[in-house]
Amino acid sequence: MIPGCANKGGGGSVVRLDAVPELESQVSLSPMAAAALECWQARQGEIFTVVDPELSFYRARLGAFDAVGGVLLPFHRFNRPVESPVAIEVYQALPQKERFELVLQKLTEIGVTRIVPYTSSHSTTPEERDAGQKKSHRWPEVILRAARQCRRAMLPELSPVLDWDGAIYEASHADLKLMLFEGEAQLTLREALKGVNANRIALLVGPEGGFTDDEVADARKLDFLPVSLGPRILRTESAAIIGAALLQYELGDLG
Ligand code: SAH
């Protein structure tokens, strides 16, 4: 979990077994695995996705369990990893109200690692932003429900809302930094990904009002590559969902 993380997502939410389990045999949980299950608000009898030291993933039912330990019964072994080989971080200009909840849900299903909401010159007005913030207590819950439903092994990290400078600074450590830009004469996402081998990708999605010229210049200075998703102007939440899905399709595990 990063400092200031707004949910209990990230590596700390992965339930790791200490040894390769036998199916239908109980295994005891380490204190770390029990702490990871706390991130999922786990209860006895519920089923979770867990990982062994060889990075095989399992569905496992939780038996008796408390803060320091418990038991799990793995009953199904996945024949491929459940988490993506690429870490995709989506920087999303805060859209109005519940549209951000849709973004959180869909990005969780698509398998992103981190979601960073930010405000910028043309994002929601202060009033709308406040309305969004009041509901922000629901955001971790939206991610949790989506992650459980789609059987993820990790909860995506949710960052607190950052300002523009904070967001592009946070994104700047990624191996590949893409800025979704609706202007003409851009590289397409497909062109930008040709021959690329990146482990950590930042996808910057602009607000409904678009990026300002200054913001585009700031991002270029930090080596963001402006890329297009085609000739139609998408709503900010559509751009985030489509952009993340295409990245996962080209470089990750979707498809
Ligand atoms: N206000 C702008 C549109 C902004 S769309 C206008 O009317 O011209 C909101 C955000 O979605 C953009 O900042 C961009 O990040 C992304 N986006 C929308 N359509 C896109 C496209 N065709 N290609 C790349 N990014 C797009």
Q: What angle do CA 69, 61, 72 make, to 5 degrees?
A: 30
* pLDDT score for 1: 41
CA 248 to chain centre: 12
Whether 192 is in the pocket of ligand 1, judged by its Cβ within 6 Å, is no
Same domain for 159 and 94, yes or no, is yes
Residues of the chain with pLDDT under 70: 1-4, 124-134
Whether 85 is in the pocket of ligand 1, judged by its Cβ within 6 Å, is no
Same domain for 32 and 131, yes or no, is no
- HEC string of 6-58? CCCCCHHHCCECCCCCCCCCCEEECHHHHHHHHHCCCCCCCEEEEECCCCCEE
Whether 23 is in the pocket of ligand 1, judged by its Cβ within 6 Å, is no
Residue listed under structure tokens 């005891």:
28
Pairing of β 69-77 and β 157-158: unpaired
Alpha carbon of 203 to those of 126, 240, 243: distances in Å?
A: 24, 8, 8
* pLDDT score for 129: 58
In the chain, how many domains are there? 2
Same domain for 144 and 19, yes or no, is no
Same domain for 109 and 150, yes or no, is yes
Domain span including residue 27: 11-77
**pLDDT tens profile 107-133:** 999 999 999 999 988 776 555 655 555
- Residue 29: CATH number of its domain: 2.40.240.20
The alpha carbon of 161 and the centre of ligand 1 are apart by a number of angstroms equal to 20
pTM score: 0.94
Atom 18 in ligand 1: residue holding the nearest Cα: 234
Residue 195 gets the label, from left (phi > 0), alpha (psi -120 to 50) or beta, of left
The alpha carbon of 54 and the centre of ligand 1 are apart by a number of angstroms equal to 42
Residue where one domain finishes, among candidates 50, 77, 104: 77
Residue where one domain finishes, among candidates 77, 106, 130: 77
- The residues that bridge with 65 in the sheet, in sequence order, are 70
Residue where one domain finishes, among candidates 77, 100, 115: 77
Same domain for 115 and 21, yes or no, is no
Same domain for 96 and 19, yes or no, is no
The alpha carbon of 25 and the centre of ligand 1 are apart by a number of angstroms equal to 52
* pLDDT score for 238: 97
Atom 2 in ligand 1: residue holding the nearest Cα: 210
- Does 5 map to a domain? no
Q: Which residues, including other chains, have CB under 8 Å from residue 27's CB and lie 6 or more apart?
A: 17, 18, 19, 21, 71, 72, 73, 74
Write the DSSP assignment of 69-83 as a string of letters. Answer: EEEEEEEEE-SS-SS
- Does 22 map to a domain? yes
The alpha carbon of 180 and the centre of ligand 1 are apart by a number of angstroms equal to 7
Q: Is 62 helix (H, G, I), strand (E, B) or coil?
A: strand
The alpha carbon of 96 and the centre of ligand 1 are apart by a number of angstroms equal to 15
- Residue 110: CATH number of its domain: 3.40.1280.10
Whether 210 is in the pocket of ligand 1, judged by its Cβ within 6 Å, is yes
* pLDDT score for 240: 98
